[in-house]
Amino acid sequence: MSIKLGPPVEGKNFIGRKKVLNRIIDMLSEGLHVLLSAPRRVGKTSIARRVLYFLRKEGWSGIYVSVEGANNEVIFAQRIIDELKKRQTLWSSIKGGFSDTFKNSNIDLEAFGAKIKYRNSPNEVMILLETLGKSIQSIRGNFIIVIDELPVFLAHLEKEEDGKKRVESVLNTLRSFRQIEVDEAYEKSTYTSWMFCGSISLESFANQRNLAYTINDVRSLKVGAYELPEANEYLETISRREGVTLTDDVRDYIIAKTGWPIPFYLGIILEEAIISSDQKVISIENVDEGYKIALKEHKKDFDQWIQRLKLHIGNFEIYLHVLKLIAKYDSVDLDMIKSSMVNTEWNNTPELKLLAILDLLETDGYTVLENKSYQYRSPIIRDYVITQFHLA
Amino acid sequence: MKTTAAINLKSIRKYNPGTLDDEDVINNYISRKAIFQKLIKEIESETNDSIPQHHLIIGQRGMGKTTLLKRIEVEIKTKEDLNQHFVPVLYPEEQYNIDRLSKFWFNTLDQLLDYIDTQISSEEANTIDNQVQQIINAYEEEVLADKAYKLVLQAIGKINKRPVLLIDNIDQLFSLLKENELWQIRQKITDNGAPIFIGASSAPFDEVFTYDKAFYDHFKTKYLDPLTETQFTDLIQTLASNLNDEQLKLAFRQKQSRIQSLYRLAGGNIRTAIILFSSLTNGFGDSISDDLDELLDEMTPIYKARIEELSDQLKAIIDEIALEHKPIDLERLRDRTRISNNTLSPQIKRLRQMGWISVESNIKSRSNYYQITERFFNVWYLMRRSTRRNKRNISVLSAFLKEWIENKDSQGELLLAQSITKSSDIMTRLALSDHITDANIKSALISQAQDGIEQLSAGNSIVAEQFSAYRRKGSNVELPYWIKDFRTKYKSGDYESVEKFLQDIVKNNTENQNAWFGLGVLYQRDLNEYQKSKDCYKRVLELDEKNIYALHNLGNLYKNHLQEYQKSKDCFEKVLELDDNFVHSWSELGNLNISHFHDYQKSKECYEKALSIDNQYIYALNGLGNLYQDHLNDQDRAIEYYNKILEIDEHEKVAKYNLVFLLRDIKGDKNKAREIFLSLENSEESAIVDTYYLHHSLFEVYDQNYGLAKDYLKKAIEYLSNKPPSYTIDDWVRYAAVAIHKGFGKYLIETLSASGIHNIMRPYYDACIALHDGGEEYLYRQSVEVRETAFEVLQHMQKYKSMLPD
């Protein structure tokens, strides 16, 4: 059994998503910049890399950079430079642009193979970023740069000294990279497109800080679950590869179990169902057993739904209260949420604020609003919350 | 069934599997086979240039992590299809020298260079080695780490195989590196063609389990759960099967319930199992307490050394948690240790990360409750550090566990016997007759088998015809002379010889279904080796998919021993598709539909079908009695069926007990109940004195003579003489259910506690409290050793209680 559950998938492991791929490629080919948002495990990194793969086949050059874990501008820049360096042709065409910057800092370009020695001088950081931007702009031919987990990087940066300002500065700098003079664009007749990905919404992040203007030139695209035929294709492909049979009923059952069929949920349930069966034909009982085991064995993968709120959202307890309430009662309306807050510290929460909380939970993939009631997007997340907080 | 190479007992390692040679590593690998095979499959699925899936194995100390990594290393080294594409790099368990990233890569490089040196060319190895010497003192760490990794890639290029890095205690390795170094590793290992990491750790740790840390999402995690009771006993029995001392070998098989009881104290730790095995090879003690003492003695140096590794403050915390024995919350721990919250919390976190303690997740509370993770350590600690009274509690707990398990097993045997005895004896005899040249013995065996067939096939011409066909076949295979006394050996319980004999047959003729079948029965009924039994039945079915006896027994095995109920049902249904008159399968299907599928209508139809084939079939009558009594709420019909059983066999005790219970507790006919009870008193069962007093007590509870009820209860307790009940635990369970239901719970608990028997029957006592007013939450607050058995007892009590009228 070898279903990939963690690293981005590629080649024959990449299943479905044709519509979203085509849409992104069309947008990028028109010179637009794209912001791809989806909670973790939905498959956005795989999609981003797949886009890169197809564009390269069409003659584009490009890099994929994950900035997760970076907490200052230098590391951010370093990650991009590291990726540029992996593409020898690209690097040799632009490395000259860096020489002055590095000379000024007494860094040997070859040794920098390398690590940048910039530290906390804002001026030097700015020079480094500007050099980077110019270098990227000078790349000939169509070029795509994918920056993964930008909002996570910004959230970290914000916690550093003078963080708010630095976040604004980075967003503005990135914006300036995307602004090519019209003449220059004519001269190039080619595009440099940016694609940002994030497991927390960059739009919400920027809106909350009045920085929406810094990304208003970027087209936002949310990636959700598979469409039904894609979910079926995924299950069919994986089961065939694993040498087991799934009847139509069992496939439908697995998809229904996830409620929100992303490859990860389908994969873990199928994997555990196969392990719990010693038959070649997977039964509904195997799926039930697999579901139970998947919840237990992959607990850490569900912990992210709570941990990301803790990390990135202020006043996290109120979000948790709402999530627990929805988990307990399956479906709750606004009145029920309000009455649950009577006699709590959130008793006087203004309705608008409450709606903003509910809105964020919806946009970030936790819940859906149907017939004026909030429900979990996926029964798995609900079951996780029930187990985790002893709500049964 | 697969034939496995013999285990070299001298080569079993408790601590350092790394010192074994490859062959011993392969042969000694008994547990964790499924996860091993899964990881190998995962490795195989990686192509040269794939983005690798990394893996993390989590299991507390002694759960088999190091051995699993070693086994993977050997598999990659020795299997051609793997070693063509992959090269294993097994790191030492302790990597004391690593304090920076470059050292980690240089350590990796060292091992790759060893490989190049031995497998490719010394010259190539030397070239890279020279480059190492050139850079090692020439750069600052950040640049050096990058350069070191480049050399690793260069070495991989030379080898042209993908490295699989097998890193034990990967959590410790990561904790030695700085955060930015971890992110650097993360960047590298998410590249196409990067090395595959397979790490092991004794507990979850931040770098992989916290949302914003470097490796979150990047390791596919598998937990090495404690062995189940069956896996634990299977491991010990597999080791025992390699002993040369036949008597000792037999002792291991006969002391199954003792081993199971020790399991409940020792937890499912592989290392403890191996030490237990090696300790028992010196011979079993007179009682379970002796065996426990011996095992504790064996563990002493290990546990002492382990606790010495801790700082004084951590020792003090462990001391309090271990002495508490049951889960303890932070507030109580703070009071006991007198360490302030600010200091205590980080220390607790550290102990959790080191795998010493874990949170009891079933307690619903705002604060966490902590307990010692390795349960046997806790038992050891209590025995060394605790008061005399607490030590005694552990000893008596072991005795209770043994009685409880034996009691459960005896029910199991009964169920097993009812459905397989006849066919198995016949098949075994036929298997023998096929291979015996001595005409007299051969003819005697066939004749005995024929008798059996006649009984079994009464009214069933198809079965009779099948056996006649067997007899006509004959066989010319010759076997050693000693098999002449085979039957005697079988009857006298010399299962070793029987097993050897049957194994010899299948070795000579792998297609002898009768011998495979005989082995299946032997493993299932006599030797309690259920996986082997399953393999044997499956082998029979490979040879003849329509063999209804193998199918039936496999169904029985799934139901009674492997807890795989859907598979069990499939087997019985297949039997009945092939032979609609096979009464045993109808009856078993009836049982299964009650106990696991809760389809009572279907169950009723099954029993009725069985009775339409044989109207005196006691098991179906009893099944119908139970069904009407427990599920269809028709007590009159139930009584009718039990009476019918007594018409067939007036001494049938199960039916009588059911009638006493039904009449007194459910129908309210105390007089009739008392009459039947007294008739039991006059029978052989009157020797069960505690049951006798318990019934008297219950009759008084009904009359609300609580004083007398307590007196009779005390007499029952006195009869136990400070030992847990033998053979009568079920009656105690039934007693508690009725007594608590009738409002006697408070007095029952008081009396048990005042008499001191509550320590001797701890799981029973705790189950009484849970049933009375404590609920399941109360049990989660008890120590694991008590809790698991207490839950079983409670379940039985609840079942009885649910039958009683309001």
pLDDT digits (tens, 9 = 90+) for B566-599: 889 999 999 999 999 888 899 999 988 887 788 8
d(C-alpha A3, C-alpha A234), whole Å: 11
Kindly state the average pLDDT of the residues B477-482.
33
* Partner residue facing A300 (CB), from B45, B146, B221: B221
Q: Which of B36, B41, B179, B220 to mutate to test the interface with A (most CBs of A within 10 A)?
A: B220
- Report pLDDT for A324: 94
Q: Taking the CB of residue B721, how many other CB atoms lie within 10 A of it?
A: 8
The answer on pLDDT for A106 being more than 60 is no
Instruction: Give the lowest-confidence range in B48-57, B272-281, B484-493, B656-665.
Output: B484-493
Q: What per-residue confidence (pLDDT) applies to B5?
A: 47
Task: Chain B: give the shortest CA distance to residue A94, in Å.
Answer: 22
The verdict on a CB contact (< 8 Å) between A113 and B221 is no
Number of Cβ within a 10 Å radius of residue B524:
25
pLDDT tens-digit series, residues B331-356: 999 999 999 888 999 999 889 888 89
Phi, psi of A61 (to 5 degrees): -110, 165
Give the model's pLDDT for residue B429.
61
* Neighboring chain B residues of A11 at a CB cutoff of 8 Å: 50
Q: Give the mean model confidence (pLDDT) for residues A186-212.
A: 82
Average pLDDT, whole number, for chain A? Answer: 86
Q: Which helix (H) or strand (E) holds B196?
A: strand B196-201
Query: Quick check: A182 pLDDT over 80?
Result: no
> Distance between CA A13 and CA B192 in Å, rounded?
14
**Mean pLDDT along residues A28-35:** 91
A111, A129, A156 from A124: Cα distances, Å: 19, 9, 20
Task: Look at A284-298, B461-475, B656-670 and tell me which has the smallest mean pLDDT.
Answer: B461-475
Q: In which residue are the tokens 């550093």 written?
A: A160
**Lowest mean per-residue pLDDT among A38-42, B101-105, B505-509, B547-551:** B505-509
Q: Tell how many helices (H) and how many strands (E) occur in chain A.
A: 18, 8
3 state SS of A22: helix
Per mean pLDDT, which range of A369-383, B108-122, B424-438, B569-583 is the poorest? B424-438
Which tokens is B22 given?
A: 């490859």
What pLDDT does A119 receive? 53
Mutation choice for B interface testing from A1, A3, A4 by most B CBs within 10 A: A4
Q: Which residues of A touch B53 (CB under 8 A)?
A: 2, 4-7
Q: Give the C-alpha separation, A252 to A255, whole Å.
A: 5
Residue B622 contacts residue B654 (beta carbons within 8 Å): yes
Q: What is the mean pLDDT of residues B102-129?
A: 91
Residue to mutate among B48, B211, B592, with most A CBs inside 10 A, is B211
CB-CB under 8 Å, B53 with A1: no
C-beta pairs of B618-625 under 8 Å, 24+ apart in sequence = B618/B645, B618/B648, B618/B649, B618/B652, B619/B418, B619/B419, B619/B587, B620/B583, B620/B586, B620/B587, B620/B590, B621/B645, B621/B648, B622/B654, B622/B655, B623/B587, B623/B590, B623/B591, B623/B594, B624/B590, B625/B655, B625/B658
Q: How confident is the model at residue B417 (pLDDT cuts 50, 70, 90)?
A: very low
The amino acid at A164:
K
Within 22-61 of A, beta carbons closer than 8 Å to B belong to 40-41
Which pairing describes strands A33-37 and A218-222: parallel, antiparallel, or unpaired?
parallel
Mean pLDDT of A104-122: 51
In terms of Cα–Cα distance, which of B730, B738, B744, B792 is closest to B766? B792
Cβ B217–A69 below 8 Å, yes or no? no
Provide the pLDDT for residue A224: 87
Per the prediction, chain B carries an average pLDDT of 82
Question: By a Cβ cutoff of 8 Å, what residues of chain B touch chain A?
Answer: 34, 38, 41-42, 44-45, 50-54, 139, 142-143, 146-147, 179-180, 183, 186-187, 190, 204, 208-212, 214, 216-223, 364, 566
Q: Are B506 and B519 in contact (CB under 8 A)?
A: yes
- Give the pLDDT confidence score for residue B445 in this predicted structure: 63
Most confident of A122-136, A295-309, B389-403: A295-309
pLDDT band at B43 (very low <50, low <70, confident <90, very high): very high
Question: Residue A308: which of B211, B219, B222 has the nearest Cβ?
Answer: B211
pLDDT in the model for residue A108: 46
How many angstroms separate the CA atoms of A6 and B216, rounded?
A: 9
Lowest mean pLDDT: which of B455-459, B515-519, B648-652?
Answer: B455-459
- Residue B541 — pLDDT band, cuts 50, 70, 90? very high
Q: Is residue B244 very low, low, confident or very high in pLDDT (cuts 50, 70, 90)? A: confident
Task: Look at residue B687 and tell me whether its pLDDT is greater than 80.
Answer: no
User: Predicted confidence band at A180 (pLDDT cuts at 50, 70, 90)?
Assistant: low
Q: Supply φ then ψ for residue B639, to 5 degrees.
A: -60, -40
Out of B204, B208, B566, whose CB is closest to A285?
B566
Q: Identify the band that residue B745 occupies on the pLDDT scale cut at 50, 70 and 90.
A: very high
User: What pLDDT does residue B13 have?
Assistant: 61
Asked if B53's CB is within 8 angstroms of A5's CB, the reply is yes
What is residue B348's predicted lDDT score, i.e. its pLDDT?
92
| Chain A residues touching B147 at Cβ < 8 A | 113
Greater confidence (A75 vs A24) lies with: A24
Higher pLDDT, B471 or B654: B654
What residues have CB less than 8 Å from A294, skipping those under 6 apart? Answer: A268, A269, A271, A272, A380
Share of chain B above pLDDT 70, in %: 85
Which of B45, B220, B222 is the closest to A6 by Cβ?
B220
Candidate from A95-109, A133-147, B242-256 with smallest mean pLDDT: A95-109
> Which pTM was predicted?
0.73
Which pLDDT does position B451 carry in this prediction? 60
pLDDT at B196: 96
pLDDT at B448 over 80: no
Could you tell me if A11 lies within 8 Å of chain B, comparing CB atoms? yes
A66-86: average pLDDT: 86
Q: What's the rounded Cα separation, in Å, for the pair A324 and A321? A: 5
What is the model's pLDDT at position A187? 58
pLDDT value, residue B6 = 52
Q: Which of A10, A82, A285 sits opposite B51 (nearest CB)?
A: A10
B34-44 mean pLDDT: 92
Structure tokens at B469: 């066909």
ipTM reported for the complex, 2 dp: 0.83
Question: Using the beta-carbon criterion (under 8 Å), do A1 and B142 form an inter-chain contact?
Answer: no
Cβ-proximal residues to B770 (8 Å cutoff; 6+ apart), any chain: B776, B778, B779, B790, B794
Indicate whether B615 pLDDT > 60: yes
Do residue B53 and residue A75 have CB atoms under 8 angstroms apart?
Answer: no
Q: Which helix (H) or strand (E) holds B513?
A: helix B513-521
Judged against a pLDDT cut of 90, whether residue B74 lies above it is answered with yes
Q: Do A390 and B41 count as a contact with CB atoms less than 8 A apart?
A: no
Q: Tell me which chain B residues have a C-beta less than 8 angstroms from the C-beta of A6.
A: 53-54, 217-220
The least confident of B88-97, B453-462, B548-557 is B453-462
Residue A8 near chain B (CB below 8 Å): yes
pLDDT above 70: residue B11? no
Cβ distance of A7 and B52 shorter than 8 Å:
yes
Q: Is the distance from CB of A59 to CB of A141 less than 8 angstroms? A: yes
Say if residue B243's pLDDT is above 70: yes
**What is the side-by-side order of every strand in the sheet holding A367-370?**
A331-333, A373-376, A367-370
